[in-house]
């Protein structure tokens, strides 16, 4: 039983490191890239990020949400069946951290570059994607705790 507990703790630790590194990368890398690259490259990157339409933004947010929520569900799932599970005091903060990381990722995507703040439609999509992400995280935790 101790081996399963250790596996669960390692899984949670790896997931939290993944969230941390992903959040830092998503928040710092675009800003650094805009400062480091030449103005010609920076203007073409801004043009590319401006050229996406709302359907691409929706698809991108849906894909990112599904991937991260799937990873959260794998961390929360009990394998094999008698394996230990996380307590509510550990599972809920994990879900909240997932939601905050994805919301920050969405906001960084919309504000990529200094001048591009996205349109109203993109911000609405980010709000809906964030709400869906929160609902999926809550559903995963409730299913895990049941």
> Please, are residues 13 and 76 in contact by the beta-carbon 8 Å criterion?
no
* pLDDT higher than threshold 70 for residue 42: no
Each residue's pLDDT tens digit, 86-132: 888 888 999 999 999 888 888 777 776 555 566 677 778 888 888 98
Query: What does DSSP assign to residue 53?
Result: -
What are 12's two structure tokens? 């949670």
Q: What would the mean pLDDT of 128-144 be, rounded to a whole number?
A: 90
Domain ranges of the chain: 2-145
Q: What percent of the chain has pLDDT over 90?
A: 18
> Please, are residues 60 and 102 in contact by the beta-carbon 8 Å criterion?
no
- E strand or H helix at 82, and its extent? none
pTM of the model: 0.75
Band the pLDDT of 134: cuts 50, 70, 90: very high
Cα–Cα distances (Å) from 10 to 6, 15, 16, in that order, read 6, 8, 10
> Please, are residues 23 and 104 in contact by the beta-carbon 8 Å criterion?
yes
118 by Cβ neighbours in 10 Å (0-12 / 13-18 / 19+) ranks as buried
Cα(67)–Cα(146) distance, integer angstroms: 23
Residue 69: how many other CB atoms lie within 10 Å: 21
Q: What would the mean pLDDT of 34-60 be, rounded to a whole number?
A: 61
> Can you tell me whether residue 52 is helix, strand or coil?
coil
């Amino acid at each position: 039983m101790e081996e399963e507990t250790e596996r669960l703790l390692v899984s949670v630790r790896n997931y939290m490191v993944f969230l941390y590194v992903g959040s830092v990368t998503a928040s710092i890398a675009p800003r650094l890239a805009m400062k480091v690259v030449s103005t010609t490259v920076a203007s073409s990157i801004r043009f590319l990020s401006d050229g996406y339409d709302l359907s691409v933004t929706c698809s991108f947010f849906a894909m990112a949400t599904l991937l991260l929520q799937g990873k959260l569900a794998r961390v929360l799932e009990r394998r094999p069946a008698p394996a230990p599970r996380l307590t509510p005091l550990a599972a809920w903060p994990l879900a909240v951290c997932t939601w905050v990381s994805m919301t920050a990722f969405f906001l960084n995507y919309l504000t990529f570059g200094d001048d591009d703040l996205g349109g109203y439609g993109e911000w609405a999509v980010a709000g809906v994607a964030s709400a869906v992400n929160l609902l999926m995280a809550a559903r995963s935790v409730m299913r895990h705790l049941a």
